[in-house]
Structure 1
Amino acid sequence: MIESRNPYNNEVLTTYEAEDAGRIEQKINQAHEAFLDWRRRSFDERAGLMRKVADLLRERKESLAQLMTVEMGKVRREAIAEVEKCAWVCDYYATYAGQFLTEEVVRTDASRSYVRFAPLGVVLAVMPWNFPFWQVFRFAAPSLMAGNAALLKHASNVPQCALAIEKLFVDAGFPEHIFQTLLIGAGAVEAVIRHDKVRAVTLTGSEAAGRKVAAVAGECLKKTVLELGGSDPFIVLPDVDIEAVAAKAVQARMINNGQSCIAAKRFIVHAGIYDSFAEAFVEHMRKLRFGKPEDEATDYAAMARHDLRDELHAQVQASIKAGATCLLGGKPMEHPGACYEPTVLAGVLPGMPAFDEELFGPVAALIKASSTEEALQLANRSAYGLGGSVWTADTLKGEQLAQQLEVGCAFVNGIVKSDPRLPFGGVKHSGYGRELSIFGIREFVNIQTLWIA
């Protein structure tokens, strides 16, 4: 059974029976048949349907946001913003997909030669729960506009969100079976990847899940895009406005209650301002308001699942045992939901879980750097390489430092975020490949050479 449960009060919302092998086979075959027709549709026709999806997202944003709030615990105002961002990415690819995939003429010894971008076929997306709509749409909009068919294996704790997304494409008038949800557990994914009519797979999730998916896809010689975990550095140089940057730092850490791959996690602060920054950071964290995720005044609520909260607490306890100092929080809340106190750990060093591992929840690690050079070394001393930011009054110096960060997304004086206009992805254990922009839509196409005598 696949269970939908409210993480704030631990109430079971609904359950679904997982689809069996016969139903999975049927859906894959249906997706392939739909693709054979869809790939022949013009960009204008695809764009018209994609814009209808954007319109439906905006029309239904209140109910869709409420669904995210009750099923995975997302604070309501963040859920509204997520739906609006999904509409943006639909409009973006409806406008630019044709331009991004226009044939490119290349002069050679042929009478005519060019490069074309042809769709691959059925693409499987294995998606996480933390941004249950955005993660799906940033894959689905470019993939469908490129002419592919899409199968969604969503996280098992957000089945209602998965079905709501499928309904949006159906209601917008997309061809039947071109976008389908597979209600399956993790154990059924390997067989889907191995199916000869599934041509590629994209995964957003944990490093462990990425390794498993990549291993199976590699054995089958199928294209993959992996967007995995992150332990993003937030470098603070001594020339900043401490109060202002500390407020931004807390905002960067507490996005989605800290459950974001690109939330800042390691705050690497110059020794000259470390104590003052730590004090300001703690005060801003202390002021955050806990409450029901539906309430407009709520800043943070429950984590998505109890097991995730317990894993986070174990990382906190192990870091304290290894020598970190807890300045705030540090324990689960007395609440029926999966709630954890906003936590600040100081004196964090390499070798501690708070430095080496991804903290997926409301826990911040403060790290002291004796110089700018050491700050950069500490930032890059990580298995992960998704995002990172540099904060300084000297933007030129900040840019030069950001260029040396071993990450896919480097920001200067700004919180790391995804944007349809810019490529998104990481290096090292944060994965490979890119989503969004022209680079994202070209991940799942056949870049085909045509040479004509």
Structure 2
Amino acid sequence: MAIATINPATGELLKTFEPLNDAEIAEKLDLAQQAFEKYQKISFQERSVWMQKAAEILEQEKADFAKIMTLEMGKPFKAAIAEVEKCAHVCRYYAEHAAEFLADVSVKTDASHSFVKYQPLGIILAVMPWNFPFWQVFRFVAPALMAGNVGLLKHASNVPQCALAIEEIIQRAGFPTGVFQTLLIGAAKVADLMSDDRVKAATLTGSEPAGASLAAASGKQIKKTVLELGGSDPFIVLESADLEAAVTTATTARMLNNGQSCIAAKRFIVVETIADKFEKLLLEKFQALKIGDPMESETDLGPLATPDIIKDLDQQVQVGVKNGAKVLTGGHALSDRPGNYYPPTILTDISPDNPVAQEEFFGPVAMLFRVPDIDAAIKIANATPFGLGASAWTTNSQERDRLIEEIEAGSVFINGMVKSDPRLPFGGIKRSGYGRELSIQGIHEFVNVKTVWVK
């Protein structure tokens, strides 16, 4: 795949970039290692000043950064603004809490003094996706750099201007040269990077095949990875739920980022007693969404990021229909306009043996399942190879406790939309990946947890 900016709203090629050659990659690695040798000795206080400055730059120039995101991957401009603001939030969070999270922890043993010490590992490779091109990177950058590591970014090939803009933000914030660098390279170069002894670990957010490839390359070198992969998140609605709030949130949760989010609600599991009303309200919400230019403030749903994504999504829908699913609205790519547009779509009557029942739809397609009770709801929710997030709606405390306990996912949100928050650990189980980002758990992923025993 070429490294290029192609406007998904129009199909126009805006800018191309020449990938780094092997000699240039080697120079970047040399610079990163030299930077780490000095940077690891810099105090938390100094790192914090630079991270706070990065937050200021993000806040002051958020419109400029948001425009880059919208032009490169089609995110509605208002959502892109919110993404930049969230990046500033995570920078401030780790600037304020890193010293506390990584402070020595005393432990009483038979020693005169024993404690746990947290130390940076070195160069960390971040392989990041296009769907949240700033947020996914900054939720790595903030903890990794505050911990004293240095970062190399291999971003998705369709968001090179986002990648370069992030590197520039880190430089302008005052971080030493080489502490964070963007590598404009293809995926084929990742395994070579992992084989370099100076690269100590890697993190990836992306597809299952990409995660498996990185894990395999890292495993050969016995290097740690954190993987955040796909999801087919359930959205359970039980009889006692606030139905209006659930439907409104369901629409937002499915259409988030034009439907291109790992933690978007994708499988709506509703008890029979309220299923007709939920379906009617959801259909009304979906049909009222405004599809259009993502730069316009009134647009609810912009284009998908690439032509391949829309092709794959449409194929999935047709497979589902061929195997018995019913289309309530949408169901075909829009051909009346340029760009990669797919309408809000609802599929119902999906049998357990339908091939799409357990799949992830990476676009504005909702699957609606009717169930007799909470037992059936939990069974369907867990009948997937994924385990990233889950949302469940009930005002019954016993039902709430069962949902929290029995749903197989990295996070469960009751009466709310699944979202990431710097204060809470984020990640999945099963084929949704392993390891955690954000909170104290996220900054602990890429440090040496050193035991010290002194007599």
Under a length normalisation based on structure 2, what TM-score does the superposition of the two structures give? 0.98
Alignment partner, residue 259 of structure 1: 260
SS at match of 1:196: coil
Farther off after superposition, 77-86 or 103-112: 103-112
Report if aligned partners of 1:389, 1:402 keep a CA contact under 8 Å in 2: no
C-alpha distance in 2 between matches for 1:444 and 1:352 = 41
C-alpha distance in 2 between matches for 1:261 and 1:82 = 15
| Alpha-carbon offset, residue 428 of structure 1 | 0.1
Alignment partner, residue 390 of structure 1: 392
| Alpha-carbon offset, residue 245 of structure 1 | 1.5
Alignment of 1:202-221 (within 5 A): 202-221=203-222
C-alpha distance in 2 between matches for 1:220 and 1:282 = 50
Under a length normalisation based on structure 1, what TM-score does the superposition of the two structures give? 0.99
Alignment of 1:307-386 (within 5 A): 307-334=308-335, 335-386=337-388
Alignment partner, residue 170 of structure 2: 169
Residues 387-444 of structure 1, C-alpha deviation per residue, up to 9 Å, x if partnerless?
Answer: 0011112245224312211000100000000000000000000000000000000000
Alignment partner, residue 105 of structure 1: 106
C-alpha distance in 1 between matches for 2:99 and 2:414 = 32
Alignment partner, residue 30 of structure 1: 31
Residues 1:141 and 2:138 aligned together? no
Counterpart residue type for residue 436 of structure 2 = R
| Alpha-carbon offset, residue 291 of structure 1 | 1.3
| Alpha-carbon offset, residue 348 of structure 1 | 1.7
Alignment partner, residue 192 of structure 1: 193
Counterpart residue type for residue 423 of structure 1 = P
**For structure 1, which runs of at least 5 residues remain unmatched after alignment?**
none
SS at match of 1:211: helix
SS at match of 1:277: helix
Alignment partner, residue 444 of structure 1: 446
| Alpha-carbon offset, residue 336 of structure 1 | 1.6
C-alpha distance in 1 between matches for 2:111 and 2:374 = 54
Counterpart residue type for residue 296 of structure 2 = D
Counterpart residue type for residue 248 of structure 2 = A
Report if aligned partners of 2:117, 2:451 keep a CA contact under 8 Å in 1: yes
Alignment partner, residue 64 of structure 1: 65
Counterpart residue type for residue 181 of structure 1 = T
Alignment partner, residue 288 of structure 2: 287
Residues 76-109 of structure 1, C-alpha deviation per residue, up to 9 Å, x if partnerless?
Answer: 1100000000000000000000000000111212
Report if aligned partners of 2:128, 2:155 keep a CA contact under 8 Å in 1: yes
SS at match of 1:355: coil
Residues 215-272 of structure 1, C-alpha deviation per residue, up to 9 Å, x if partnerless?
Answer: 1101110010000000000001012233332121111100001100000000001011
Residues 190-222 of structure 1, C-alpha deviation per residue, up to 9 Å, x if partnerless?
Answer: 101111100000000001111110011011100
SS at match of 1:152: strand
C-alpha distance in 1 between matches for 2:316 and 2:206 = 19
Counterpart residue type for residue 391 of structure 2 = S
Residues 112-164 of structure 1, C-alpha deviation per residue, up to 9 Å, x if partnerless?
Answer: 11110000000000000000000000001000000000000000000000000
Counterpart residue type for residue 439 of structure 2 = S
SS at match of 2:268: strand
Alignment of 1:10-159 (within 5 A): 10-159=11-160
Report if aligned partners of 2:194, 2:218 keep a CA contact under 8 Å in 1: yes
C-alpha distance in 2 between matches for 1:195 and 1:337 = 40
The alignment's C-alpha RMSD in Å is: 0.9
| Alpha-carbon offset, residue 369 of structure 1 | 1.0
Report if aligned partners of 2:291, 2:343 keep a CA contact under 8 Å in 1: no
Report if aligned partners of 2:98, 2:143 keep a CA contact under 8 Å in 1: yes
C-alpha distance in 2 between matches for 1:289 and 1:417 = 23
Counterpart residue type for residue 204 of structure 1 = T
Counterpart residue type for residue 373 of structure 1 = D
Counterpart residue type for residue 446 of structure 1 = N
Alignment partner, residue 403 of structure 1: 405
Report if aligned partners of 1:242, 1:280 keep a CA contact under 8 Å in 2: no
C-alpha distance in 2 between matches for 1:274 and 1:347 = 12
Counterpart residue type for residue 233 of structure 2 = D
**Aligned counterpart in structure 2 of residue 425 of structure 1, from 424, 427, 432:** 427
Residues 1:300 and 2:301 aligned together? yes
**For structure 2, which runs of at least 5 residues remain unmatched after alignment?**
none
SS at match of 2:406: coil
Counterpart residue type for residue 431 of structure 1 = G
Residues 366-385 of structure 1, C-alpha deviation per residue, up to 9 Å, x if partnerless?
Answer: 01111110100100011000
Report if aligned partners of 1:105, 1:114 keep a CA contact under 8 Å in 2: yes
Quick one: structure 1 residues 355 and 284, their matched pair in 2 at CA, closer, same or farther if it must change by over 3 Å?
Answer: same
Identity score, percent: 53
